[in-house]
Amino acid sequence: MSLDTTAAPLRLTQAPSIDGTGYMPGFGNDFETEALPGALPQGQNSPQKVSHGLYAEQLSGTAFTAPRGQNERTWCYRIRPSVKHVGRFTRIEMPYWRSAPHILPDVTSLGQYRWDPVPHSDEALTWVTGMRTVTTAGDVNIQLGMAAHVYLVTASMEDEYFYSADSEMLVVPQEGRLRFATELGVIEVAPQEIAILPRGLVYRVEVLDGPARGFVCENYGQKFDLPGRGPIGANCLANPRDFKCPVAAFEDREAPSRVIIKWCGQFHETRIDHSPLDIVAWHGNYCPYKYDLRTYSPVGAVLFDHPDPSIFTVLTAPSGQEGTANIDFVLFRDRWMVAEHSFRPPWYHKNIMSEMMGNIHGVYDAKPKGFVPGGMSLHNMMLPHGPDRAAFEHGSTEPMVPVRQTKTMQFMFETRFPQHLTEWAARTMPMQDDYVDCWRSLQKNFDGTPGEK
C-alpha cells in the first residue's frame, strides 16, 4: 500500500487495489471493493444473511427516484448498522462554523475584499474546531447555496468522528497534509490536490504533516459533477480517470467515541463505544474521492482574446437552473499565454455570480502583488473588479510572445448567490483594508473627445 503512514499509523484494514495505490480510478463509476474476501454479496444487495455476520445498509446520495444519470447510492456491508453509531444527540456550539442564512445586520458584505493568509494557531484545533467560516450563501434548509471556510488543523481527531448532513465538502489544502479516514475508505491529500466528501459520510481527520491550512467549499446543493465540455469534445479539462476513490477500509475498534453531526446548521454530539468506520465491503457510486489538480488539462485562447473563466471549471454543482451553477470550482493553474494583439489578463468586469478566490501558491496574473498564497479575495455579486494597476500596465504593454505562467495555482468558488461575510471574516481574519486602492491609481488614458476624429 503506498499510503504514507509515517506520521500517523493507519489503523484500518484496507482492501487490495489493482494498482496498489489504495484508490480506484474514475468519476461517478459504480465501484465495488471488499477488505475481507467474500464480504461483498454477489448477485444481490440484501441477502438474508450477509457473510462474516455483516449488516447490509444503503446510503442514498440522491432521492430514490432521481434520474438514472444522477442517481447515486452505495450499498455498505458493515459490522454494525449506522443506527448503532449514534446515541442520543446533545447540542454543542461551534461558534466559528456558520451556515446560511447568516446575514448579520452590522456586517457589510457589499464590497471587494481581500485577506492575508490566516496565521496558524498554537491551539490544538481539529477538523471541526479549526473550521472558520468566511462566507455563507443561499440557505442550508432548502439545500441551495454554499459556505466558504478556511481550516486550520493542528490536531488529529482521536476516537472522534464527524459527518455533515448539510453538505458535500470540497477540500482544497494549501499547507500540510491530511488523512480522511472515512466509512468508505482512506483519502490522503496534500496541496495541489482536492478531496470531496459526500453528504452523510462519517469520517475522522488526521494530520499527516502539520500544521495544516486550506480552504473548504461546503456545498448545500446538488452534488459536484464534471462540466459538459460542449464543442471541446470528449477530452481535456478534468478527465474522469484522474479522480480516485478509496478502496474499502475498516476498523473493528471498541473504544469510547464521539460522533459530531452538522445538521441544518446546528452541531450535535453523540457518544458511542466503538468506531463507526466499520464498513468491510461496499459497492455503488456514492463515495468520497480525490483529484490531483496537476492533472487538469486547461484549454484556452490559442489566437486572441481572453475567454470566460468557465473554461477552467474543474467541477460544477448545478442549481436547478441550467447553466447557472450553485457552485463552480474553477482552477487557474500554470499554462501558456499565447493570445495575439490581446489584453491577456482577466478583463474588467461585473458578474451576477459571486466569486470567492483562494491562492494555493504563486502569483495571480490580475494581482501580481497582494493576493498571496494562503490568501483569499471576494468579489461579490455585481461588484466591479479586474486587474490592478500593475497588472493593467503590464498587460497593456507586454510583448505578444508566448509566455508560460509557471509555479502558480489559484482557484475560485463561484456561486449564483451573494456571499455574506461572517463576523470572523469581517473582524478577525486579516482583511486588507486598502484592497480597493489597488485600482485607485488607474489613469484616465482617454485621448480624444467625441466627434474629434
Ligand X SMILES: O=C(O)Cc1cc(O)ccc1O
Residues that bind ligand X (CB under 6 A): 309, 346, 349, 351, 355, 366, 379, 385, 412
Residue 361 known to bind ligand? no
Count of residues interacting with Fe ion (CB under 5 A): 1
The backbone region for 445, taken as left when phi is positive above 0, alpha when psi lies in -120 to 50, beta otherwise, is: alpha
Query: How many C-alpha atoms does 154 have within 13 Å on its Cβ side?
Result: 7
Cβ-closest position to Fe ion: 355
Which string of DSSP letters, residue by residue, matches 304-332? SS---GGGGEEEEEEEEETTEEEEEEEEE
Reading the block at residue 444, the C-alpha cell is 484616465
For ligand X, the closer of residues 120 and 385 by Cβ is: 385
d(CA 205, CA 177): 10
Shortest Cβ 305–ligand X spacing (Å): 11
In sequence order, the β-bridge partners of residue 24 are 245
Shortest Cβ 331–Fe ion spacing (Å): 14
Shortest Cβ 341–ligand X spacing (Å): 18
114 contact choice in Fe ion, ligand X, none (CB below 5 to 8 Å, kind-dependent)? none
The interface region with Fe ion, picked from 18-26, 201-209, 298-306, 353-361 by CB under 5 A, is 353-361
Residue 274 known to bind ligand? no
Residues forming the active site: 306
For ligand X, the closer of residues 178 and 366 by Cβ is: 366
- Three-state secondary structure along 12-58? CEECCCCCCCCEEECCCCCEEEECCCCCCCCCCCCCCCCHHHCEEEE
Contacts of 398 (CB under 8 A, 6+ apart): 344
3-state secondary structure of 147: strand
- Judging by DSSP bridges, how do beta strands 90-92 and 354-361 pair with one another? unpaired
For Fe ion, the closer of residues 57 and 355 by Cβ is: 355
Shortest Cβ 350–Fe ion spacing (Å): 9
Reading the block at residue 307, the C-alpha cell is 475567454
For ligand X, the closer of residues 99 and 354 by Cβ is: 354
Reading the block at residue 256, the C-alpha cell is 469510547
414 binds Fe ion (CB under 5 A): no
Which string of DSSP letters, residue by residue, matches 115-145? EPPPPP-SS---TTTTEEEEEEEEEGGGTEE
309 contact choice in Fe ion, ligand X, none (CB below 5 to 8 Å, kind-dependent)? ligand X
Cβ-closest position to ligand X: 346
For ligand X, the closer of residues 257 and 354 by Cβ is: 354
Shortest Cβ 365–ligand X spacing (Å): 8
For Fe ion, the closer of residues 24 and 412 by Cβ is: 412
The only residue of 57, 355, 365, 388 in contact with Fe ion, by rule CB under 5 A:
355
Residue 203 known to bind ligand? no
Shortest Cβ 195–ligand X spacing (Å): 23
| Angle, alpha carbons 420-424-425 (nearest 5°) | 50
Reading the block at residue 97, the C-alpha cell is 462554523
328 binds Fe ion (CB under 5 A): no
Closest by CA to 116, choosing from 363, 362, 358, 372, is 372
- Burial string for 399-430 (b: 16+ CB within 10 Å, else e) reads eeeeeebeebbbbbbbbbbbbbbbbbbbeebe
d(CA 201, CA 207): 19
The interface region with Fe ion, picked from 105-113, 118-126, 237-245, 351-359 by CB under 5 A, is 351-359
Shortest Cβ 93–ligand X spacing (Å): 35
366 contact choice in ligand X, Fe ion, none (CB below 5 to 8 Å, kind-dependent)? ligand X
Residue 102 known to bind ligand? no
For ligand X, the closer of residues 349 and 427 by Cβ is: 349
d(CA 361, CA 408): 6
Q: Residues annotated as binding site for Fe cation?
A: 349, 355, 385
Residues of the binding site for homogentisate = 364, 385
Q: In the complex, which residues of this chain contact Fe ion (CB under 5 A)?
A: 355
